[in-house]
A and B are shown apart, each in its own frame.
Chain A
Amino acid sequence: MVLVFIEVREGKVKKSSLEALSEGKRRADDLGAELHAVLIGHELDELAPECFSFGATKVHVLESTLLSQYSPSGFSRALKELVEELKPMVIFFAASSMGKDLAPRLAAWLNVGLATDCTETGIKDGRLTVVRPIFAGNVFATMVFKASPQIATLRPNVFPLVDPVDAKGEAAKKNVEITEDQVKDAVQEIMREEGSELDVTEAEILISGGRGLKGPENFNLLRELASILPRSAVGASRSAVDSGWIDHQNQVGQTGKTVSPNLYMAFGISGAIQHVAGMSSSKVIVAVNKDPDAPILKLADFGVVGDLFKVIPPLKEELKKIFAD
């Protein structure tokens, strides 16, 4: 069996979890195994049908009022008990903030290895193989597991969604036996940042700026582009962040976040190794830079040698035209 943890935020299933479920479906098909999903929290029953439509035949709904807010100690305890009962061969999580926080706790509890932030999975001789970027994407490591269950977290925006189907399945609800003292680290409050709807790791289009932007106010040019483009967010290089022009949340690169959007637009970013490491798995890269020798232009599918302050205004108009059609 392949089991996929389904993350819920603000009452909705995260897209990255549906990607993990889709990849789980593909691996379950390879193995001729069942695909199950697990929801943890309070009153989540109504989310089960969405899991069926992405291929799960059974959804385990682990219910407790003590788990209405995320806690790694509480959630991992609930998961561990389910895993000991189901004995899945493979467990997938999205490599989201929650997935990366929860999966290691479960792996340690079960005394098995964990592959973090994978970008490829497959089955060979009945066992899971994964590819994970290490050294911030400068090296791809193919890894296998010495124990079962084989647990992996999957990088968001990398794995394609299966086409949802109109399918039914079994929702198995279970009350989790857990006490207050076993929940040691529950989230008390979630503070949304002003104006940052989408995280850079979740955006399908990322519009990034570097030192070439010359000052914090000029990030507004990128925000204006973002307001035109659907599911987009604004990113930044380390030098822009270290200059205090934009929050670290937005930093792409080795000491920031690793992203793989459909489109990465780099404005005034030279393309230092440590930045490229965080964005080189983007599907399409375009760059605007004044310096014809900037390394980013060698990486870009389409590069413009020019002044970003002169290119962005007409680009904005061109994009508006496209979206008006």
Chain B
Amino acid sequence: MNIFVFVKRVPDTESKIRIDHKANKIIKDGLNFVLSPYDEYAVEEALRLREAHGGKVTVFSVGADEVNIILKKCLAMGADEAVLLKDDTPETYDGLRTAKIIAKVLKDKFMDYDLLLFGRLSIGADNGQVQTMVAQLLDLPQINVVTKLEIEGNQGTAYREIEGASEKVAFSLPAVLSAQKGLNEPRYETLKGIMMAKRKEIPVLPLEDLGMSAEELAPLMEVVNLESPPPRKAGTVFEGEAEAAAKKLAQFLHEEAKVI
């Protein structure tokens, strides 16, 4: 089975995000960047499928050279190959632009695949659109937010999380799937894996070589302003005996906030 996994480098979840208001950008200095958490589940699932069915796992990322760090991590986890789709354009918050790049690469250069795996969402931009757009551009079935996956020959069954329930979807390969927490427990990189990843060449495919027009690559969304959410007004803090606290709290909910 030939599996492609698409990953993104994002600030970790503990990052304190600061805004450059003049440039309408997030200040990158001081941020700690990681492989987007949901992408780890996608990589892990690809490795497990390879272990069960044989085949190859190739990891792709769209971004500047700094993205190599997360590609190395995926190699250290056990991926066979990694490819950098080199794009120096800063974050556009436009999922379709990224999806078009990926679809173009797959149409022109990497035509042979059985599964395209993504995380259900890249934290940061919080869009969760790229995988679905790729599915549409390539006319493939899509199953998002997958918590369980079974593959048998060229047929698959996936369970996807919805509000208070899960949906069972049957599909034919090739298909686009996005991973949700709970799908698996991602493995740690082994020392041997890290050493091998260090030596491994990561081929670079520059955006310019894809023959995409400026029009195709122009973002269709524009960020006109970034700001921090307004701080919440300071509330009441009650310290005292539990019975009294419960009474005060209930009173607050019923009479003051009127939410109960």
Chain A residues proximal to chain B, CB less than 8 Å: 70, 72-73, 76, 96-98, 100-101, 103-105, 107-109, 111-117, 129, 132-147, 184-193, 196-199, 201-202, 205, 229, 247-249, 251, 253-256, 262-263, 272-274, 277, 280-281, 283-286, 288, 292, 297-307, 310-315, 317-319, 321-322
What is the size, in residues, of chain B's interface with A at 8 Å between Cβ atoms? Answer: 90
Contact B128 A318 (CB under 8 A): no
Complexed CA–CA distance, A262 and B259 (Å): 7
Cross-chain contact of A263 among B142, B162, B233, B257 (Cβ < 8 A): B257
Q: Complex formed: what's the CA distance from A187 to B178 in Å?
A: 16
Contact call A307/B242, Cβ cutoff below 8 A = yes
Judge whether B206 is part of the interface by a CB distance below 8 angstroms. no
B182 within 8 A of A: yes
Given A104-B129, A134-B124, A322-B254, CB of A272 within 8 Å of CB of B136? no
Once bound together, how far apart are the Cα atoms of A285 and B223, in whole Å? 30
Contact of B142 with A185 in the complex, beta carbons under 8 Å: yes
In this complex, which of B226, B227, B249, B254 has the most chain A Cβ atoms within 10 angstroms of its Cβ? B249
Chain A residues with Cβ under 8 A from B144's Cβ?
A: 72, 100-101
Given contacts A135-B15, A139-B226, A322-B254, 6 further A-B contacts (CB under 8 A): A73-B142, A96-B162, A101-B142, A104-B136, A191-B166, A305-B239
Please give the residue numbers on chain B whose beta carbons come within 8 Å of chain A beta carbons, in ascending order.
11, 13-17, 19, 26, 37-38, 93-96, 99, 123-130, 132-137, 140-145, 159-172, 175, 180-182, 218-229, 232-240, 242-243, 245-254, 256-257, 259-260
In the complex, the answer to whether A108 meets B133 with C-beta atoms within 8 Å is yes
> Could you show 23 A-B contacts with beta carbons less than 8 Å apart?
A73-B142, A105-B136, A108-B134, A108-B137, A112-B96, A135-B15, A136-B13, A136-B123, A139-B227, A139-B228, A185-B175, A192-B165, A201-B163, A202-B164, A277-B13, A280-B232, A281-B229, A288-B249, A301-B236, A303-B235, A304-B248, A307-B242, A311-B249
Q: Report B-chain residues with C-beta under 8 Å of the C-beta of A197.
A: 164
Cα of A307 to Cα of B246 in the assembled complex, Å: 11
Q: Which of B96, B163, B248, B256 contacts A97 (CB 8 A)?
A: B163
B250 adjacent to A190 (CB under 8 Å): no
**Cα–Cα, bound, A112→B252 (Å):** 47
* Known A108-B96, A187-B169; contact A192-B141, beta-carbon cutoff 8 A: no
